[in-house]
Chains A and B, each alone.
Chain A
């Protein structure tokens, strides 16, 4: 199966989990390597946002906070409309490895939702547009 639903990377860093945790879960840390600006409300359900200098913005929702070993969040699929409800789940796992850390990142959900649900969702959006345009025509005709 070539539709990639899951992306996984593991790397070893020469710094203890506490330090890696700070880089992943604080605004200062995230702004230093991930985005150019960052905000984060570090609790399950909390919001986080990354901004890049090219204007790109990623809105995240914090899902799992188990200091200093598991940090998970969801964000939307890049390239899909802002209103699209589908999100992928990203989970960082930190494991002590000698004096350093084995860091694993797994992102899942690229192939989520059955096609029929998908079709229903988008058809309803399409219908929505069509009927809104019809309503505007009616409104203009009446004026």
Chain B
């Protein structure tokens, strides 16, 4: 445990050093150093103008995440239980996963117009596919012997699903949700960069346009800290769930 924490500190320390080094190499027209960025970020969080943007991003992200999770779980479970559909759709889903979704962006804009719905749509299409794929695989790869045990205990189908199949599939399903979380966030942010006059993505684009390096760095810092922080927590839960797997 101690080495794990020490390693974590070494990593963060190393990244901060590299950051500082880039600053020293390229100067403050390109990048602001760690200390200054953190101060500015803290300052931003206290500003009145900042909060509505934060809220807009949060709302869009939450909505996208909800749709991606619930929709993804339902579809994944359905495809997992119905073998034939699962087999038919799997390569289609994998293909969808590999397409640069940014190219579908204009299509989304044309369908949803500018604004909140486009952002949510974009976040959803990024996040839903991994949830479906992981959930489907989890259900399909359930050990057949578990089903036999269920029949031995005379379980009804819904009871079997609830007490055996879903707990057995949970570790993989959770991994899908974790990946879905990160991708939905990325999708929502990219969506905001073009489809909105509100939100962190928009602020970022504006800062790029105005060449406001401090703002760019501060927002980037906030996003990176949030994304990696949540991901680390979700990963820890993910590992716990998988450790119980035989």
Q: Do A and B bind each other?
A: no
